[in-house]
Every structure is written in structure tokens, then in C-alpha cells.
Structure 1
Amino acid sequence: MVLERLEALPVGSFHYKLLLVTGLGWLFDSMDTGLIAFILPVLAKEWQLAPGQMGLIGSIGLIGMALGAVVSGTIADHLGRKKVFSITVLLYSIASALCAVSWNYQSLLIFRFLVGFGLGGELPVAATLVSEYAPSRVRGRFIVLLESFWGLGWIAAACIAYFFIPVYGWRMAFALGAVPAVYVFLIRLHMPESVRYLLSRGKVEEARNIVITLERKLHVPVLPFNDAVEKLPPATTVSFRELWKKPYMKRTIMLWLVWFGINFSYYGIFMWLPSLVFQQGFTVVKTFEYVLIMTLAQLPGYYCAAWLVDRLGRKYTLSVFLLFSGVASYFFGHASTAAALMMWGSVMSFFNLGAWGVLYTYTPEQYPTTIRALGSGWAAGFGRFGGMAAPVMVGVMIGHSFGFGAVFYMFAFVFIAVAAVVMGLGIESKQRDLESITAVQNRSKSVKQTL
């Protein structure tokens, strides 16, 4: 069987090349998202923006991300992962270049929406593609490592902010975000289509040829395929209603709530972090320096999560990282010195971004191939509503003099709440074949009904 041979492949150069190719796209996406956070305090001063207007600049991109995630997740189950991934990367690259020539507040909002649409479309499709190629024994580690490129992108954004914005201005920062347009051509050369997607569309021979090619590259003995019918159902069952049927309804509710909460907290915190630190009385250069230090803590958070996710499991690793994100947010809101601010900000970055890595592992594993990109896209898309609301809400809270501490108490509560949701509604999918998760649960349900 095609899937059995795909699953049995040793982890080798192909898997790491796929991780690198998709990861670089993730890095550029993150860099673009991070740049707007560093540009905001400079832009607010130059254009005399009110807190509400600053919040809308942060939120408009997330509106685009929500629509992009839903649209790309839906069409990726019809057109394929590779094609949609390429289109969305190209779209956000062009839109980022347009941001560099924005002539007023309104034009910047339009271009930021387009950037968000491309960005939101690429992320769930990339995670789906990697999850469908990585063997179940290392799938969790690979997805978290993929997500770690997000941390590298934020570090790149922080470095651009620290070294370029004070000298060359914010337009140069946006121009650098257009670099991924060249990267689209690498995608075409080095990234195959998902074998599981091809089987679900009835393209058995194409799927078999990819597996044979991979076996040769990885020095695995190549045997002829027999004529046995592959087990995957055809893709004609793809429908939004499938997400709300048993056994997927409980998973969908859990994922939507967690995605909403983690987006709300992440974008509310990190989109405003440079501006909030700046408002504590630090200079722009000092602010960028402190935020760069906090951002560096994201990488060990990812790598710790990557180590735990295949040992402790997805459900428990995600819950623990969300819980400690909440604890760190609470104490960050209490910080009264620069040292305390950096320490708790670094702890918050460590656990927050580690939780993101686990969530991108966990989400595609909750659905079968025929609705995997659809389910992942809708979960990510719904989560973006949390990301839209948070920057605006923080702007309103600041405008009404709620203060630094109150903002982070709110985020602490949200983190702890979604940790409880994962513990209460989540299922464990550690080291299971993507198709077997549903089958095992359906058999378990049948046994209970019989008893």
C-alpha cells in the first residue's frame, strides 16, 4: 500500500529539505507580521495615529488572515497543497512591497489586508503538507520545528527594526518583506504534492511514483506495487458540514476555542509589545533591544516543545505551555523594573511560542485526509477573529487608561481558560498514523454502544 510505504520511509534528506523549504516560507511570513509590530510606534509618531488607529492597523491584517486561512484551506483540498502554498506566498510578498509605498493611513490598511490574506492562506496549508509527509513517529517534532521558523522570522524582524528602522525608516522594513517573491520559484522545484491528497483525488499512479522516487532517494529497496485498492475515500465528501458531524464536532469546538484564545493573546501581546514597552518610558532603540531579547526566548521554547510533544504528548504539552504562558503574562503585567520586564517577557515568549508549535502539530491530526486542510483552515481562520479583536481591544483599553497591568491580566485569564479547554475536550494523537486516529476512535465508540 502507498501509505504504508510512505509511513515506513526512514527520516532523511527529503524530509529535512521539505521542512526547510516550507520553513523558509514560514520565516518570511513571521518576519512580515513582526515588522508591523516594530513599525507601529514609529508610524504612530510620524502620522500622529491614535491608539485605536494603531490597533486597526494590527487587526486589518488578521482579518485578511482569517479569510485567507478559510479560503486556502478549502481550495487546497481541491487544487492541492503545493499550488495553493505557492500562490499565497507570492500574494503576500507583492502586498508587502506595496506597503512600502503607502501614501496614507487608508492605503496602508488595504495593503495590510492583502498581506494578511496571503499569510493566513499559507500557514495551515504548509502545516498540512508537512504533517502528511512526516512519519507518525516524528511528526510532532517536525511540525514544531516547522513552527520554530516563526521564531526565527520574529528575530529577523527585531534585527531589521533595531538596525534598519532608526537609520532608513519604516518603508525600507516593508520593502525587505517582499523578498519571498523570489522564493516561490524554489517551491516549484523542491516541493512535491501531498501523496495523501493525490490518493484522495484518485491519482494513484502519481502518488505511487512519488513514493518510489522517495524510496530511491532514501536508499530503500523499491518493490513493485500490487493492484490493491487504496483505503482513502474520494474527496467528494469534502464539506464544511463534515466538521460538525461525529466524531469531529467535539474536536472542532475544542480547536476553534483554542485557536481563538491563542490568537487573541499572541497578537494582542506581540503586536503591541514594542509600543507598550515604549510607553513605559524607554527610547525607541532601547525598546527594540528589549523586545529583541524577549524574542530570542522563542527559539528554546519551540525546541523544548519539539522534544516534549512526542514524549509527553500533544494534549498535555499544549496544556502545560498555555498554562505557563498565562502565569508569565500575569507577572509581566506586574513588572516594575527593566530586568523583571525582560525576564517575564522572555518566559512568556518561551511558553507562548512553544504552545503555537504544538497547536500546529495537533490540529491536522484531528481530521482525515479528505477534510484535513479544510478543518485546519477553518480552525485557523476562526482563530484569527481573536487576533483581530485583541489589538483593537488593547488600543481601547489604553485609550481609556486601563494601564499596562490590566492588559496582561486579561491575557493571563485567556491563556489559562484555553488550557482548561484542551484538558477537558482534547484527545491525544501522539505517534498515531493520520488515518488511524479516526478509525481507532470509531471502533472505540462502536464497542461502547455494544456494551
Structure 2
Amino acid sequence: MRTNIPARLDRLPWCRFHVLLVAALGITWILDGLEVTIVGSIGPILQDPRTLHLSAQAIGGAASVYVVGAVVGALLFGWLTDRFGRKSIFSVTLGIYVIGVLLSAFSWDMRSFMLFRCLTGVGIGGEYAAINSAIDELIPARLRGRVDLIVNGSFWIGAGAGAGASLFLLSGNMMNIDLGWRLGFGVGGVLGLVMLLLRRWVPESPRWLVTHGKHSESHAVIAEIERRVMRCTGASLEAVHESLMVYPRKVFGYRYVLRAMLGQYKMRSLLVLVMMVAQACLYNAVFFTYGMVLTKYEHVSATKVGLFILPIATSNFLGPLLLGKYFDTIGRRRMIFSTYAISGVLMLLVAGLFAGGQLTALTQTLGWAAIFFFASAAASAAYLTASEVFPLETRATAIALFYAFGMIFAAGTPWIFGELIGAGGPVPVAIGYGFAAVLMLVAGFTALRIGVDCEGRSLESIAPPLSSSS
């Protein structure tokens, strides 16, 4: 069949429809940021005998288990998303997250805490695959880069909220600290429940529908989207003349995915893998254990850790917000190189100063804020690249695979840094930071060499659908 749905979606003006879409789906990153920061902030609190009385190694292990759960969730729900559609899966994954995070609030020992953190990770991992593919397929091509970066950067709205909440919940002034850390997880659960209701309004991807043989349904959905946009803007839409021939299939198995990724798109696969591994190692190295670094080396009170995480979270959100437009103007390849390389160089500098004992809690926090202004845009660009450079029928699966590969490489990072912190002085930790910095530099130069110029192009022109050829 011949379809003009991609062109109809890409020519839509930005309006309230897109804002609500981004809000309903982008909650994933806010929730993940809330999770990571709450865990990073409560790490020292969970070592208190009045709470779960965990060791530094156990806290790092719990963070690693969360990452392992995210890998499992991404692989499972990535395939299901390409098989059964975006809309039917992203409600399931958010529901799993809500169950996991609420159960985390009722943990009674190390084993229960790790089990529930793993379940929470399964939900978050599934969300990444389902949501990234849905957003990219519904956002106009000319705005896709900046919107994707801002959505991924919204992780840090959650991180900032988690840091701010920790100051109140973990102070011990308003409530018992054992109740405070539990309420921190409860906040994420309640927010997730609200978003479950909002997502009922989000349509299925018309692009997915047409490539899976649901021709009449795809045209009904795109017609409803256009009606919403015209009601919003009060203007008529320009005619569309571009079309694409597709040969729909109901199932695209891993054989098709791997044949595309390891054959025609093998260099793109290498690019995304390197980018994913680098950013995952960097973030897991820092954020799951930063609370312990501050309390052990800078003698910050465990109840005030959130005060130092808050400016870093703010910088992380400002990076994609302020730099995002340049990914659509200067271009993907040059901006990816710049953000990865600058953050890597700055991290080497901070690691050296940290090893020499020349940083205070304040200067170390300012150093990380500078690093993550660029690293956050780089990490967001990794997810953007994974969702742009592969065919539509494999998009969610490809995102899941590369997310999983990156997380598998980085899964042990929180545990390793827990061991490095427990080992003694700052030099071992600084060496770990230096390794993460080198990975960022490697990723930057890889993007410069084999990156793809996706700015302003439709998804179908970047990677034609598998169904566009018989």
C-alpha cells in the first residue's frame, strides 16, 4: 500500500497536542531521575541502624540490581513494543514501575530492597524503549532533535525534585528518618499513577500501524491528530504530496532486526553502542554513589546530601534545554562530538583535582555541574541517535538492545564504586572517574568519524522501513 502518513506527521505545526504528548510520555525520565537521586541521597541514611542498616557495598549492589532490572525490562518490552504497538506497552511498563517503587517503600531488609529495586528497574527499562520510539514517531522532523533532548533531559527535573524532597524527608526534623526515606519512594509511585490516567489520551503511532497492516486504523488516528492540531491552531493544514510504498507485515522478529543492525547498519550499531556505554558508565559511576563520596571524603551530613545534588541536577537539565536547538541547526554529528569530548576533558580535570585532595564539597559539586551541563546533552543524544538511525519496525527493539548493552557494561559500576569508596582514599575513586572520562572521549571521536547527519530529515529518509521493500 502507498501511504503519506510520515509526511502528514512531519508537516504539523507545533501546538498544545505536542506539549501534552511530551508531558504524558516524558514522565518516564522524570521518574527515573527521581529514582536515581532518591537512592543516591538516601544511601547514607540506609546505613543508619534506625533504617535498613546497609553497608556501602550493599547500597552499590542495590543500584546495580536496579540497572540489571532495567536491562531485562528493556529487552523484553522493546520486542513487545515493536510487536504489539507503542500505546499498548507503555501503560504496562509504567504500571510495573508504580508497583516496584511502592513496594520499595515497604522494604524490610537488604534482600527485599534489592528485589523491589530490580522490579522498579524492569518498569523503567521497558519505558525507555516504548517511549523513545513513540515520541520520535509523533514529533515533526524539524523539531525532533531539540524535543528529544529536552525530554531526555527532563530526567533532571525528577533528579532535582528528588534532591529537594530528600532535604525535607531525610532531615529528621519533620519526621522519623525511617519514615522519610520510604515516603521518598511513595512520591514516585503517586506521580506514576497520575500519569497512567493521562496516557489514556495518547494515540498509537500511525507510523507503526501502517507498517503492520492496520491501514484504516492508521488513517483514523492521523485524521484525529490533524483535527486536534487544527482546533489548537485555528489554521488549515497544507496539502501533502510525498508518499511511501510499504509492504506491511504483522511480525518483525529478531532475525530481521539483527540482519539490519549487523548488516546494512553495522556502523550505526557501533556508533550507538559506544555512545550508550560511555554515558551509562559516566552516570552510574557518579550518581548512585555521590552521597557516599560527599559523606566520606567531604564530611557532609547525610541529611544534607540533596543540597549538593540539586545544583548538579539543575545543570543537567539546562544542558539539553539550552544546547538542544543546536542539534537541529549545527547538526547532530558535530554537536555529539563536542558534548562528549568537552565533558570527558572536564571530568579528567575534576578526577585529578579530587585525587589530589584539592576539592571541597562545594568545588566538587561545581565541577560536576560543569561536566554534566555537556554530558547530559551527550547522553540524551545517545538515545536520540538510537531512535533515529534504524528502521521503524525495529526502532523499539534497537533502542532496547543498545540500552541493554550500555547498561550491562555499566551494571557493575555502582557496585565497583561502592568497593572503591570502601577501600579508603580518594585515588581509587579518581581512577574510576578517569576511566569513565576516557570512554566519553572515545565516544565523541567515534561520533565525529561515523556519525549520521539526521537533522531536519524524516525518519524514513534516514532509515527506510523494512516494509518499504518487498
Asked if 1:165 corresponds to 2:177, the answer is no
> What secondary structure is seen at the aligned counterpart in 1 of 2:412?
helix
Asked if 1:174 corresponds to 2:192, the answer is no
Q: State the match for 2:225 in structure 1.
A: 214
1:376-422 Cα deviation digits (max 9, x unpaired): 11111111113312111112222333624323222222221222222
Cα 1:314/1:322, change in 2 over 3 Å = same
TM superposition score normalised by structure 2: 0.88
Shift, 1:17, TM fit: 1.2
Cα 1:265/1:222, change in 2 over 3 Å = closer
Query: Among residues 191, 197, 206, which one is paired with 2:208 in the alignment?
Result: 197
Shift, 1:45, TM fit: 3.0
Shift, 1:233, TM fit: 4.4
Q: State the match for 1:86 in structure 2.
A: 91
The answer on whether the counterparts of 1:34 and 1:271 sit within 8 Å (CA) in structure 2 is yes
Query: Among residues 30, 41, 44, which one is paired with 2:44 in the alignment?
Result: 41
Gaps of 5+ in 2: 466-470
Cα 1:152/1:225, change in 2 over 3 Å = closer
Cα 1:114/1:340, change in 2 over 3 Å = same
> What secondary structure is seen at the aligned counterpart in 2 of 1:432?
coil
> What secondary structure is seen at the aligned counterpart in 2 of 1:279?
helix
Q: State the match for 1:183 in structure 2.
A: 195
Cα 1:396/1:338, change in 2 over 3 Å = closer
Query: Among residues 372, 383, 388, which one is paired with 1:365 in the alignment?
Result: 388
Shift, 1:260, TM fit: 1.5
Say which is worse superposed, 132-141 or 390-399, in terms of deviation. 390-399
Cα 1:64/1:433, change in 2 over 3 Å = same
1:184-238 Cα deviation digits (max 9, x unpaired): 12111x2000011101111111111121112222226479999x88436435344
Query: Among residues 438, 453, 468, which one is paired with 1:428 in the alignment?
Result: 453
Q: How does 1:360-439 map to 2 (within 5 A)?
A: 360-401=383-424, 403=426, 404-439=429-464
Asked if 1:287 corresponds to 2:305, the answer is yes
Cα separation, 2, equivalents of 1:375 and 1:362: 11
The answer on whether the counterparts of 2:149 and 2:324 sit within 8 Å (CA) in structure 1 is yes
Q: State the match for 1:27 in structure 2.
A: 30
Q: How does 1:102-121 map to 2 (within 5 A)?
A: 102-121=107-126
> What secondary structure is seen at the aligned counterpart in 2 of 1:310?
helix
Shift, 1:286, TM fit: 3.6
| Aligned residue type for 1:234 | R
Query: Among residues 282, 287, 293, which one is paired with 1:270 in the alignment?
Result: 287
The answer on whether the counterparts of 1:260 and 1:383 sit within 8 Å (CA) in structure 2 is yes
Shift, 1:328, TM fit: 2.3
The answer on whether the counterparts of 1:52 and 1:395 sit within 8 Å (CA) in structure 2 is yes
The answer on whether the counterparts of 1:233 and 1:370 sit within 8 Å (CA) in structure 2 is no
| Aligned residue type for 1:42 | I
Cα 1:322/1:101, change in 2 over 3 Å = same
The answer on whether the counterparts of 2:211 and 2:248 sit within 8 Å (CA) in structure 1 is yes
Q: State the match for 1:311 in structure 2.
A: 329
1:322-359 Cα deviation digits (max 9, x unpaired): 11221222232214234421221111221121112222
| Aligned residue type for 1:327 | V
1:54-109 Cα deviation digits (max 9, x unpaired): 21111000000011111111110111111111111111111111111111100111
Cα separation, 2, equivalents of 1:353 and 1:261: 12
Asked if 1:74 corresponds to 2:85, the answer is no
| Aligned residue type for 1:71 | L
The answer on whether the counterparts of 2:141 and 2:457 sit within 8 Å (CA) in structure 1 is yes
Cα separation, 1, equivalents of 2:144 and 2:207: 15
The answer on whether the counterparts of 1:98 and 1:111 sit within 8 Å (CA) in structure 2 is yes
| Aligned residue type for 2:82 | D
Identity of aligned residues (%): 24
| Aligned residue type for 1:208 | H
The answer on whether the counterparts of 1:261 and 1:386 sit within 8 Å (CA) in structure 2 is no
Cα 1:243/1:378, change in 2 over 3 Å = farther
Q: State the match for 2:264 in structure 1.
A: 247
> What secondary structure is seen at the aligned counterpart in 1 of 2:291?
helix
Q: State the match for 2:363 in structure 1.
A: 340
> What secondary structure is seen at the aligned counterpart in 1 of 2:106?
coil
Cα separation, 2, equivalents of 1:223 and 1:256: 39
| Aligned residue type for 1:135 | P
| Aligned residue type for 2:195 | Y
| Aligned residue type for 1:70 | L
Query: Among residues 2, 7, 13, which one is paired with 2:5 in the alignment?
Result: 2
Q: State the match for 2:468 in structure 1.
A: none
Q: State the match for 1:99 in structure 2.
A: 104
Q: How many residues align?
A: 438
Asked if 1:53 corresponds to 2:58, the answer is yes
Shift, 1:368, TM fit: 1.2
Say which is worse superposed, 415-424 or 192-201, in terms of deviation. 415-424
Shift, 1:439, TM fit: 4.9
The answer on whether the counterparts of 2:97 and 2:120 sit within 8 Å (CA) in structure 1 is yes
Say which is worse superposed, 163-172 or 92-101, in terms of deviation. 163-172
Shift, 1:149, TM fit: 1.5
Gaps of 5+ in 1: 441-451
| Aligned residue type for 2:308 | Y
